[in-house]
C-alpha cells in the first residue's frame, strides 16, 4: 500500500520527477559505460601481451611498434632484415619467437604472414578446414568470414598496404583453407597466412604469377652439375630468405635477464629496436586512465546534482502535502509510515534511474563498439556485467536516494498534527 502511494506521489509533479530521473539516469549511464569500457579495454590489452616479453621491430615509436604488431591497430614503423632477426630468435635466452610480416589488407582487415604458433598463442582453433601450409593459403577469423560470407575454398584479392582502397594484387589471389572459431580477440579480425605469402605477393620480379620459393630452390638444386662446394655456394646465394624482410618478432624468454639487457644491446648494435610490451601498455593505460577518471568525476558530479534535485523535490512536496500527511495520521497512519513513504519515494526514483541508466549505458557502449570495430577492428561487449563495480554503483545510487530523503523524512516523522491542522 505504501509503495503504491509513493509511486502515485512521484507523478504529482511529473516535470520535476522527470528532471531528477534524467539527471540520475545520465550519471549512471556515463559511469556504466566507463566501468565496462575500462574493464574490457584493460582485459583486451593485457590479455594480448600475455607471455610476450619483448617485441623486435624497426626503429621508431615503441608504442607504434607495439600497437601495429600486437594489436593490429596502427601502421608499422618499417621492416627489419629477416636474417638479422633470426640470429636473435635463435638465442638461447629465447623460449619462443614468432615472426610477423604485414603488407596487405582485405577490405581493411590486415593480412598477416606468420606461423601457426601465432594462432595457437592466442587460443585460435579451426572451425572448419585446415591450417595454411603453402604460399597464398590463408586462415581467416570468424568476424571476416561472417561479414563477407566467406567459406573454405573461396578466393579473394588483397589490397596493398593498410588502406582499404589501395592497389589490388590481381595476379595473386589468396585461397581460404580454414576458418577460425570466434575467440573475442584480435584473431577474429585477421587474415593469417605464412610469411612466404607476403614475400610472394610483394616480389616484383614475379608479378605474373605467385612464387613458390620451395619449388624454385628445389628445381635449381636439381639442375646443378657442379662440385659439392660450389653447390653449397649456389644454394646459399639462392636462399629464398636472403634479403627478405619481416615486420616484427614476438619473443618470450626462458630467462627474464633478457628483459634488462636486450633493449640496450639491440639499440646499440642493430638497426632494430626492442620494445617491452608491459612498459608501453602501462604507459598507454595510465594516459587512458586520466580521461576515464575525469569522466567519472563528471558523472559523480551529475549524480550529486541529481541527489540535490531529489532532495528539493521531496522537501517542497512535503511542504505542499503537510495537510495530506496530517489527514493520513488522523485516519490511523503512524509517523513511521510517513517516514517510510518519503524514503520509498526517493528510493523508487533512484531505482528506476539506475535501471534505465544501465540500459542507456549499454546502448551507448554498443554504438562505441560499432565505431571501434569500424576504425580499429576492436569490439566491446555491452552485455557484460562487472558485478563488483556495478554493485558498488547500485549501492551508491541508493545511498544518494537515502541521503536526499533524510531531512524530508524526518520532518514528516516529527510533524505536529494539531499545529498543522490549526494553520490550515
The 10s digit of each residue's pLDDT in 111-158 is 999 999 999 999 999 999 999 999 999 999 999 999 999 999 999 999
- State the pLDDT confidence band at 317, using cuts at 50, 70 and 90: confident
Spatial separation of the C-alpha atoms in residues 372 and 380, rounded to whole Å:
8
Tell whether the model's pLDDT for residue 283 goes beyond 90. no
In 3D space, the residue among 243, 235, 230 whose CA is nearest the CA of residue 84 turns out to be 243
pLDDT score for 217? 35
pLDDT of 241 reads: 63
List of residues 6+ apart from 331 with CB closer than 8 A: none
For residue 243, the 8-state DSSP code is T
Taking alpha carbons only, the member of 81, 97, 65 closest to residue 281 is: 65
Q: Tell me the C-alpha distance between 164 and 1, whole Å.
A: 63
Give me the mean pLDDT over the 376-380 stretch: 80
Higher pLDDT, 47 or 180: 180
Which range has the top average pLDDT, 149-158, 205-214, 281-290, 305-314? 149-158
What region, left, alpha or beta, does residue 332 occupy, with left being phi > 0 and alpha being psi -120 to 50 degrees? left
The CA–CA distances, whole Å, from 187 to 32, 48, 99, 112, 321 equal 28, 10, 16, 10, 63
d(CA 139, CA 192): 5
Is the backbone of residue 291 left (phi > 0), alpha (psi -120 to 50) or beta?
Answer: alpha
Least confident interval from 183-197, 290-304, 311-325: 311-325
8 A C-beta contact, residue 283 and residue 93: no
Q: What would the pLDDT profile of 381-397 be if each residue is shown by its tens digit?
A: 899 999 999 999 999 99
Domain extent listing, the chain = 2-44+288-422, 54-275
Q: Mean of the pLDDT values across residues 337-359?
A: 90
Q: Which residues of 154-176 are buried (b: 16+ CB within 10 A; e: fewer)?
A: eebebbeebeeeeeebeebebeb
Distance CA 378, CA 399 (A): 36
Evaluate whether 285 touches 45 at the Cβ level (below 8 Å): yes
Cell numbers at residue 341, please?
513513504
- What's residue 337's pLDDT? 83
3 against 365, higher pLDDT: 365
Question: Cα(179)–Cα(143) distance, rounded to whole angstroms?
Answer: 10
What distance in Å separates the CA atoms of residue 213 and residue 119, rounded to the nearest whole number?
Answer: 23
**CA–CA separation, 295 vs 289, rounded Å?**
10
CA dihedral 293, 299, 304, 306 (to 10 degrees): -170
Is the pLDDT confidence value at 216 over 60? Answer: no
Contact 111, 193 (CB under 8 A): yes
Rounded-to-integer distance, Cα 257 and Cα 260, Å: 5
pLDDT at residue 422, as a whole number: 64
Query: So what's the pLDDT on residue 190?
Result: 94
Task: Say how many C-beta atoms besides its own lie within 10 A of residue 153's C-beta.
Answer: 9
Q: What kind and span of H or E run contains 177?
A: strand 174-180
Q: pLDDT, tens digit, for every residue of 30-45?
A: 999 989 988 888 888 8
Cell of 122: 592466442
Quick one: what percent of the chain has pLDDT higher than 70? 87
Q: What is the pLDDT of residue 210?
A: 42
Average of per-residue pLDDT across 1-14: 77
Residue carrying C-alpha cell 540535490:
308
* The pLDDT of residue 305: 87
Amino acid at each position: 500500500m505504501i509503495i503504491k502511494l509513493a509511486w502515485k506521489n512521484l507523478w504529482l509533479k511529473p516535470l520535476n520527477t522527470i528532471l531528477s530521473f534524467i539527471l540520475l539516469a545520465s550519471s549512471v549511464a556515463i559511469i556504466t559505460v566507463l566501468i565496462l569500457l575500462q574493464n574490457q579495454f584493460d582485459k583486451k590489452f593485457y590479455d594480448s601481451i600475455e607471455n610476450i616479453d619483448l617485441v623486435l621491430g624497426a626503429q621508431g615509436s615503441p608504442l607504434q611498434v607495439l600497437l601495429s604488431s600486437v594489436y593490429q591497430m596502427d601502421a608499422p614503423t618499417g621492416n627489419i632484415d629477416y636474417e638479422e632477426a633470426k640470429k636473435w630468435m635463435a638465442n638461447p635466452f629465447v623460449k619462443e619467437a614468432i615472426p610477423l610480416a604485414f603488407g596487405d589488407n582485405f577490405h581493411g582487415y590486415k593480412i598477416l604472414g606468420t606461423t601457426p604458433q601465432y594462432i595457437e598463442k592466442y587460443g585460435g582453433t579451426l572451425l572448419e578446414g585446415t591450417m595454411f601450409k603453402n604460399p597464398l593459403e590463408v586462415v581467416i577469423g570468424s568476424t571476416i568470414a561472417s561479414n563477407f560470407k566467406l567459406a573454405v575454398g573461396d578466393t579473394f584479392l588483397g589490397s596493398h598496404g593498410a588502406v582499404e582502397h589501395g592497389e589490388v594484387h590481381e595476379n595473386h589471389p589468396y585461397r581460404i583453407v580454414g576458418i577460425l572459431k570466434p575467440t573475442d580477440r584480435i584473431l577474429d579480425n585477421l587474415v593469417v597466412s605464412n610469411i612466404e605469402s607476403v614475400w610472394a605477393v610483394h616480389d616484383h620480379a614475379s608479378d605474373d604469377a605467385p612464387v613458390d620459393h620451395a619449388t624454385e630452390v628445389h628445381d635449381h638444386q636439381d639442375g646443378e652439375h657442379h662440385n659439392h662446394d660450389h653447390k653449397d655456394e649456389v644454394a646459399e646465394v639462392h636462399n629464398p630468405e636472403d634479403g627478405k624482410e619481416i615486420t616484427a618478432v614476438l619473443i618470450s624468454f626462458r630467462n627474464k635477464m633478457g628483459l634488462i639487457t636486450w633493449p640496450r644491446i639491440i639499440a646499440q648494435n642493430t638497426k632494430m629496436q626492442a620494445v617491452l610490451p608491459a612498459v608501453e601498455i602501462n604507459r598507454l593505460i595510465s594516459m587512458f586512465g586520466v580521461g576515464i577518471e575525469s569522466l567519472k568525476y563528471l558523472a559523480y558530479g551529475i549524480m550529486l546534482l541529481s541527489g540535490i534535485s531529489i532532495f528539493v523535490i521531496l522537501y517542497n512536496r512535503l511542504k505542499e502535502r503537510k495537510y495530506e500527511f496530517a489527514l493520513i495520521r488522523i485516519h490511523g497512519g503512524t509517523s513511521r509510515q510517513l517516514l517510510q513513504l518519503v524514503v520509498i519515494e526517493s528510493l523508487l526514483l533512484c531505482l528506476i534511474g539506475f535501471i534505465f541508466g544501465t540500459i542507456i549505458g549499454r546502448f551507448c557502449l554498443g554504438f562505441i563498439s560499432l565505431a571501434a570495430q569500424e576504425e580499429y577492428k576492436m569490439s566491446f561487449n555491452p552485455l557484460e556485467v562487472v558485478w563488483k563495480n556495478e554493485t558498488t554503483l547500485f549501492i551508491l545510487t541508493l545511498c544518494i536516494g537515502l541521503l536526499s530523503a533524510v531531512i524530508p523524512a524526518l520532518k514528516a516523522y516529527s510533524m505536529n498534527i494539531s499545529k498543522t491542522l490549526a494553520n490550515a
